[in-house]
């Protein structure tokens, strides 16, 4: 068994940014696995993954009610489960002799089970202004002062089954352990209550993203500075509001439709949809896009009018944020050859399509952008650009 404390630190003071990232202590660890996901779905020839046990602990100065914290934690867990369901799983193709072996890395984001009491066997603890004496001693060894951080994700153990165990710590806004920063909003968790604790929820999602192996990104929810900026009294911008609302992280297939010709006539006119049909839409997946029409508002009578595929030269860009480092001694992924030390995990797929389709005898230009923070379908009609063919669906993801 490997023992490690790995921290993803979200600093309240830019002077301390040298500490951002992972800090490890303890002996015998495989240093390359510090950003591995804590929980993985079972692979072939291996037993089913166990449920993930989690619990909550709260100190005296964290003023948010217990019932609210339980709801927020569960919301963060369910949100990542929804995101992972649409993530693209890259094929890890490895040649061994004359064979090509195929491996996938799939996150375990479901089957989270709440323990009414935190125990040694609990996999993930959400600790609000709470640390055990053992944790305090370990943090003191590596000189981490929790009051300097909004949130900290700490992995305490990592087994040969590539399964992590640890805790997420959230600082209080008052008392001796309160967050210390010149720009912090006083009593932020009381202020946040007016917004339904959306700031705290976003920070929980950010921290849980690290549990699932997602490193810091340059923008959005997993930006290293998001926890600091969300709790700051400085001016917010559109990117920060988008991050707090937690847009789609892994944009997957999208089926955009309009079934109200009176309120949203533009797509009906643009694709020359007959009056007999109630709905028009575009289906987008990893193979390309299809324009369709439907006679009824609900039902399965979709008729595909035109389609375009990515093999015709259109852009589908994948960003592999999650990687699984494989230690030489392990009880899972034993079929992976020793010369392979890393596998690619779920990726972000950004789609940009620019094409022309012939629908009902008319040629139409269509441009599609499907990205984590932005979705848009645009075109051109009578020499005029149309930025939003489906206005109710386009724009910043909320």
Q: 362: which strand partners? A: 359
What's the Cα-to-Cα distance from 353 to each of 289, 303, 350, 379, rounded to whole Å? 8, 21, 10, 11
Domain boundaries of the chain, sorted by first residue: 2-245, 254-337+346-396
Burial 117-131 (b: 16+ CB within 10 A, else e): ebeeebbbbbbbbbb
* Residues 270-294 pLDDT 10s: 999 999 999 999 988 777 889 999 9
Number of other CB atoms surrounding residue 111 within 10 Å: 14
Q: Give me the pLDDT at residue 310, please.
A: 64
> What pairs with residue 290 in β-bridges?
283, 307
Series of mean pLDDT values for 10-residue runs along the chain (398 residues): 38 28 32 85 75 97 96 97 88 89 93 95 97 94 91 94 95 94 89 88 96 90 90 79 77 84 93 94 85 89 83 64 90 88 88 83 87 83 87 64
Provide the edge-to-edge strand list for the sheet that holds 52-58. 2-11, 149-158, 164-170, 124-128, 52-58, 112-114
Angle at 186 between CA 183 and CA 192, to 5 degrees: 105
**Nearest to 172, CA basis, from 144, 142, 210, 200:** 200
Nearest CA to 284 among 144, 192, 394, 358? Answer: 394
257 HSE (CA, 13 A, CB side) = 17
Question: What does 302-371 look like in DSSP terms, one character per residue?
Answer: EEEEEEEEGGGT-EEEEEE--EEE--SS-SS-TTS-TT--EEE--EEEEEEEEEEEEETTEEEEEEEEE-
Residues 6+ apart with CB under 8 A from 364: 270, 271, 356, 357, 358, 379, 381
The whole-number pLDDT of residue 352 equals: 81
Specify the DSSP element, H or E, that contains 374: strand 374-381
> 250 and 376 in contact (C-beta within 8 Å)?
no
3-class secondary structure, 381: strand
Q: Please provide the distance, in angstroms rounded to a whole number, between the alpha carbons at the two ends of the chain.
A: 42
Query: Residue 304: which of 295, 294, 292 has the closest Cα?
Result: 292
- pLDDT one-digit tens code per residue, 115-139: 999 999 999 999 999 999 999 999 9
Extract the tokens encoding 373: 């923070």
Alpha helices by DSSP H, listed for the chain, are 66-85, 133-141, 188-193, 198-211, 226-230, 238-245, 266-270
Chain position carrying tokens 């830019």: 14
pLDDT on residue 360:
85
Closest Cα partner for 217 from 18, 15, 20? 20
Q: What is the pLDDT of residue 356?
A: 84
Contact status, residue 261 vs residue 270, Cβ threshold 8 Å: no
**Token representation of residue 318:** 């994948």
What are the respective helix, strand and coil percentages of the chain, to the nearest 5?
A: 20, 35, 45
Distances (CA, A) of 64 to 190, 358, 394: 8, 57, 36
């Amino acid at each position: 068994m490997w023992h490690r404390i790995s921290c993803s630190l979200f600093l309240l003071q830019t002077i301390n940014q040298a500490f951002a990232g992972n800090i490890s202590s303890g002996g015998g660890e495989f240093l390359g696995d510090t950003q591995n996901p804590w929980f993985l779905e079972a692979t072939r020839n291996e037993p089913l993954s166990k449920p993930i046990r989690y619990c909550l602990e709260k100190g005296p100065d964290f003023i948010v009610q217990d019932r609210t914290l339980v709801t927020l934690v569960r919301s963060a867990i369910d949100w990542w489960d929804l995101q992972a369901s649409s993530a693209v799983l890259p094929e890890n193709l490895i040649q061994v002799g004359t064979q090509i072996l195929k491996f996938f890395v799939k996150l375990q984001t479901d089957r989270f089970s709440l323990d009414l009491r935190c125990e040694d066997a609990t996999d993930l603890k959400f600790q609000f202004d709470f640390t055990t004496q053992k944790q305090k001693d370990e943090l003191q060894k590596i000189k981490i002062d929790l009051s300097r951080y909004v949130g900290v994700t700490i992995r305490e153990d990592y087994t040969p089954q590539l399964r992590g165990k640890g805790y997420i710590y959230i600082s209080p806004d008052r008392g001796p352990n309160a967050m210390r920063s010149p720009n912090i909003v006083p009593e932020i968790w009381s202020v946040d209550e007016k917004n339904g604790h959306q700031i705290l929820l976003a920070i929980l999602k950010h921290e849980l993203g690290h549990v699932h192996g997602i490193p810091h990104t340059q923008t959005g929810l997993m930006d290293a500075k998001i926890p600091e900026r969300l709790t700051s009294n400085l001016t917010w911008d559109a990117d920060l509001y988008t991050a707090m609302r937690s847009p789609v992280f892994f944009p997957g297939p999208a089926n955009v439709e309009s079934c109200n010709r009176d309120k949203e006539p533009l797509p009906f006119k643009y694709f020359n949809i007959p009056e007999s049909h109630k709905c028009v839409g575009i289906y987008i997946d990893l193979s390309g896009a299809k324009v369709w029409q439907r006679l009824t508002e609900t039902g399965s009578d979709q008729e595909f009018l035109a389609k375009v595929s990515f093999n015709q030269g259109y852009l589908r860009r994948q960003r592999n944020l999650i990687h699984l480092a494989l230690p030489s001694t392990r009880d899972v992924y034993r079929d992976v050859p020793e010369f392979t030390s890393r596998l690619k995990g779920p990726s972000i797929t950004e789609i940009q399509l620019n094409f022309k389709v012939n629908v009902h005898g008319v040629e139409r230009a269509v441009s599609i952008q499907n990205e984590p923070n932005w979705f848009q379908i645009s075109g051109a009609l009578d020499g005029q650009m149309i930025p939003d063919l489906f206005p109710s669906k386009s724009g910043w993801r909320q």
